[in-house]
A and B are shown apart, each in its own frame.
Chain A
Amino acid sequence: MPLVSASPERNLFWGDLHIHTSLSTDAYVMGVRALPDDAYTFAKGGEIEHAAGYGIRIRRPLDFAAVTDHSEYLGVMRETDPELPFSSRPLRQRLTEDSRLRTTIAWIRTMVGFNPRLGEVEGSDGMSAAAWQMTIDSAERHYQPGRFTTFIGFEWSSMPDKNNLHRNVIYRGSRVPESPFSSLQSQNPEDLWSELEKQRASGMDNLAIPHNGNVSNGLMYDSVAFDGTGIDSVYAARRMSNEPVSEVFQIKGQSETHPHLSPDDQFADFEVFDRILAGRVRYSQPEGSYVRDALRLGIEMAHAEGFNPYQFGVIGSSDSHNASTPSEESTFSGKLPLLDGSAGIRLGKSLLLPEAYQISRDWSSAGLAAVWAEENTRESIFDAVRRKETYATSGPRMAVRFFGGWGYPPDLVDRGNPIALAERTGVPMGGRLPAPRDEGASGPTFAVWALKDPEGANLDRIQIVKGWVREDGTSQERIYDVALSDGRRPDETGAVPDVGNTVDVERATYTNSIGSVQLSSVWQDPDFDPATPAFYYARVIEIPTPRWSTYDAVKLGIPAPAPAAIQERAVTSAIWFEPSR
């Protein structure tokens, strides 16, 4: 019996398609001992042990999850257990018994001794084969159609010049390859696609999900291919058939946009993390690293060349290496135990390290993937991801529906059957607007509707982010506030008063005395140009709530670092308009 009956108007399912366990080299070296079974136990609501020795549990179970361990030397570190600080004494013991100096020495020894090539040992293929089989077996064992969906997957961890080009590969069913493709075979995404295409041709349906464009130094959504050659229509078609969605929220920051790229976006400065992950301290260039920038580049190419390599949707996930999904600020338990496994480590109180090396201070709590699918099965959820009927949140579970069409009535959301009506003449998030019914049609209309997380904060506003191409071929972006809480209205300059802030930093609390529980709008684009391509996506902003670092500061009895409060959010997959050519 399913937990929720199947619905042709789709049900909303929550999940995490990016979870690591001790089968990943970096996780094992930094103290994780949990396995795929632990990850699924956690996702289903069970309690597991964090690598730092305390119990962790998610307040509300997830509907679906995928363990995606790094395919490079998968499981090898666990088998070989090289001589590193956490081989002899676990993190908990070090944190509770050792001095800060001694813990710092263990930290330095681990970081200096950590080298992915530790996995280059005799017999590593056999170890990886066993680990891959464990990943498969665990996903199969925990899959309960209608109740909890698991996906078999892995992470392809390409890192040219230490710039992040990682992708998670997700399989639709039980048919998977004998071994996962790894960046040891090739760092070029096109080689990954070739392998995935070969697998699909033999009945192993799959897709790849890029993540952390924010630390790719402009490579993730570049204007040229990996080898520097120009992008053509074949590349565009291959990219979109292999990578229909990108991960936009996760622990290592958001990849929606950057203040440098979107100076007029008052909400762009949110959980920005742009420090390159390895090597000397350097920062990722924003251009080519963020989703909105990619969507803009995509429509520019569509306008100039007739193809669009960046017509993808979005999801959120965790990238936790603790076999968990720490999506709640108040119970955030970090990503890699050695770097952020306790409040003391996260806020620099357990280690003697310069702030430049405390990178986890700038990390976020986990994101979540929201999927509108008929039922909670592998097929239904996978197909919804492929058609991009998905959105991402920075952790909260607000419900968001977003449709685009022509001539939606202004009272659409108040009607008895708004979803059926919206779909009759339009498309849901992730779709392409159909051609207008008549030549002289005015701008497209968008119906957007958001309901707060029932356990979370009220909503501040709904925005529609539009990108379009000007006559000179360059793209522009504009943000429209289409629904505001508390009866607020823009002034004559278009400025909207802030929603306010109820966060008590001393206690790490907030109240829902401001904001709305539900917001909606039917909005027509006032600046529509039928001659150029455009995209539209919705962004739903919560009222300010305490950041994880504020909760940690209260636990430690120290002042909360800035920012003490954040405005969590949801970002939907876009809807595209393409003029008829």
Chain B
Amino acid sequence: MIRRMITLGQRMPPLLRFVLLGVPLWLGQSYAERQEFFVVDSPSEQSLEVAYLDWARRAGAYPNDQQRRDILQTEIEDRVLFKEALRQQLYREDAVVEQRLLRNAGFIGMEGDDAEKVRMAFDLGLHRNDEIIRRHLIEKLKMQVRARAHPIQPPGADILQARYVATRERWKRAPGIEMEHVFFSADSTDQGARVVEAGRQLEAVASAGAAAYSLGDAFLFGNRMPRMALPRLADRFGASFAERLEGAIEAGMLRPGAAGWYGPVASSYGAHFVRVLSYDAAGHTTLAEVEGTLTHEYERSVERDVLKTYVAELCEQYGVGRS
């Protein structure tokens, strides 16, 4: 049988013989090369150990089995993404890559103008071995894939509510206070008498605004304080002042929105008569207040899902070889 085929082959014209034998060989070689290209090296034990130690330095503990598997998977995915970015030639006409290649070209002493140096650097494959170019191309590919997620349908109320509940711990809020005060500086030699007299007047007339402020001294931050969290009030007036106000509010002695003045309350600067304009007890920021943040996070999560699917498909396409 084989002898007959050889005889048949010998009787064929040379051109036909070249086509019949050459084409399958060429196709086979192309297939083999393609198969070879779509393989990434598995990270070596040594490089993985470096990654584990790096992780340990950041986290304060050596990664467990699952964490080590995650580190390995991330490393493989990065290798796949980088190879795919090279296949798509994302490095072409990229300013970051060119700047980097110019720097590398200068380092190894290449001569010529910038365009020549970049061309020679590409010819030498310097773009394949530069860590910054590698990271840049991975990020570039990821950004292109994330962009495919758009336009994203805005999340419905149920999605936002679910995400709000799941992250409720994040939205804890310290008590907030908005207040005005009449200030009596500790620098004043007759501070005590002035405070007593002002207290009498404020109680008798229930003055408000500028008329009340004028009974006291000017204060650098003004008489009306914008809403601020209680710890910030403590930073501004001293801890005992903030504690006294919080205590008075909780005991019902100082009612937010009430017309009368409460005091005198001692601070690091002197004495104050205070009216609380609004007070938010410790609680949680409402869903309406964080809707923008949650929507933003939802959109990022959709982008991440698109990227995750893409990377998973890419990893199926690529094989992992031995390093």
Contacts and interface: CB of A to CB of B under 8 A. Distances in A.
B26 interface: no
Interface stretch (A448-456, A465-473, A493-501): A448-456
Interface centre among B50, B96, B210, B222 (most CB of A within 10 A): B222
A416 B210 contact: yes
Interface in B207-251: 210, 213, 217-222, 226-229, 231-232, 235-238
A452 B220 CA distance: 10
A420 to B, nearest CB: 10
Interface string B102-123: 0000000000000000000000
Contacts of B100: 178
A11 B227 CA distance: 12
Interface stretch (A277-285, A382-390, A513-521, A551-559): A513-521
A397 B268 CA distance: 13
B61 to A, nearest CB: 14
B305 interface: no
Given A7-B226, A416-B213, A454-B269, A399 B131 contact: no
Given A5-B226, A451-B221, A518 B187 contact: yes
A520 B289 CA distance: 40
A517 B186 contact: yes
Interface in B80-137: 96, 100, 130-132, 135-136
Interface string A99-142: 00000000000000000000000010110011001100000000
Contacts of B226: 4-7, 11
Given A129-B131, A451-B221, A517 B269 contact: yes
Which bracket fits the contact residues of A?
35 or more
A178 B218 contact: no
Nearest to A11: B226
Given A178-B135, A454-B267, 19 more contacts: A1-B176, A1-B285, A3-B232, A4-B232, A33-B57, A60-B235, A79-B50, A125-B130, A126-B132, A129-B131, A129-B135, A397-B235, A399-B220, A415-B218, A416-B213, A418-B218, A454-B238, A454-B269, A518-B269
A467 to B, nearest CB: 26
20 contacts: A1-B173, A3-B228, A3-B229, A3-B231, A4-B228, A12-B221, A33-B57, A35-B58, A60-B235, A79-B50, A178-B135, A413-B218, A414-B218, A416-B213, A449-B220, A451-B269, A454-B269, A455-B238, A516-B185, A517-B270
Listed residue (B173, B187, B228) with the most chain A CB atoms within 10 angstroms of its CB: B187
Contacts of B221: 12, 399, 451
Interface string A418-457: 1100000000000000000000000000000111101100
A401 interface: yes
A401 B220 CA distance: 8
A40 B132 CA distance: 26
A377 to B, nearest CB: 14
A5 to B, nearest CB: 4
Nearest to A37: B58
Contacts of A33: 57
B210 A178 contact: no
Interface in A14-61: 33, 35, 37, 60-61
A19 B200 CA distance: 52
B203 interface: no
Interface in B234-287: 235-238, 267-270, 285
A276 to B, nearest CB: 31
B70 interface: no
A518 B219 contact: yes
Contact of B268 (A1, A418, A454): A454
Nearest to B100: A178
A125 B269 contact: no
Contacts of B49: none
Q: Which of A61, A397, A449, A451 has the most CB of B within 10 A?
A: A451
Q: Which 3 A-B pairs have the closest CB atoms?
A: A126-B131, A454-B268, A5-B226
Contacts of A455: 238, 268
Interface residues of B, number: 42
B18 to A, nearest CB: 49
Most-contacted residue by chain B among A7, A37, A415, A454 (CB, 10 A): A454
A87 to B, nearest CB: 13
Contact of A451 (B176, B213, B220): B220
B54 interface: yes
A211 interface: no
Interface of A: 1, 3-7, 9, 11-12, 33, 35, 37, 60-61, 78-79, 123, 125-126, 129-130, 133-134, 178-179, 397, 399, 401, 413-416, 418-419, 449-452, 454-455, 485, 516-518, 520
Contacts of A129: 131-132, 135
Nearest to A124: B131
A9 B226 CA distance: 11
A133 B58 CA distance: 13
Given A7-B226, A79-B54, A178-B96, A454 B220 contact: no
Contacts of B237: 454
Contacts of A401: 220
A49 B178 CA distance: 37
Contact of B227 (A5, A126, A130, A516): A5
A125 B131 contact: yes
Nearest to A401: B220
A33 B57 CA distance: 9
Contacts of B231: 3, 61
Contacts of B218: 413-415, 418, 520
A1 B227 CA distance: 10
A538 to B, nearest CB: 13
Contacts of A450: 220
A343 B228 CA distance: 38
A454 B236 contact: yes
Nearest to A485: B187
B268 A133 contact: no
B185 A178 contact: no
A154 B229 CA distance: 32
Contacts of A178: 96, 100, 132, 135-136
Nearest to B293: A145
Contact of A517 (B173, B222, B268): B268
A418 B235 CA distance: 23
Q: Which among B57, B96, B131 has the highest number of chain A CB atoms within 10 Å?
A: B131
Contact of A5 (B131, B173, B228): B228
B58 A452 contact: no
A133 B135 contact: yes
A461 to B, nearest CB: 13
Contacts of A9: 222
B220 A179 contact: no
B268 A452 contact: yes
Most chain B beta-carbon neighbours within 10 Å: one of A179, A455, A520: A179
A126 B132 CA distance: 7
B297 to A, nearest CB: 13
Nearest to A78: B57
B238 A125 contact: no
B238 A452 contact: no
Contacts of B217: 518
A416 B223 CA distance: 9
B90 to A, nearest CB: 14
A82 to B, nearest CB: 15
Contacts of A126: 131-132
Contacts of B270: 517
Contacts of A452: 268-269
Contacts of B219: 451, 518
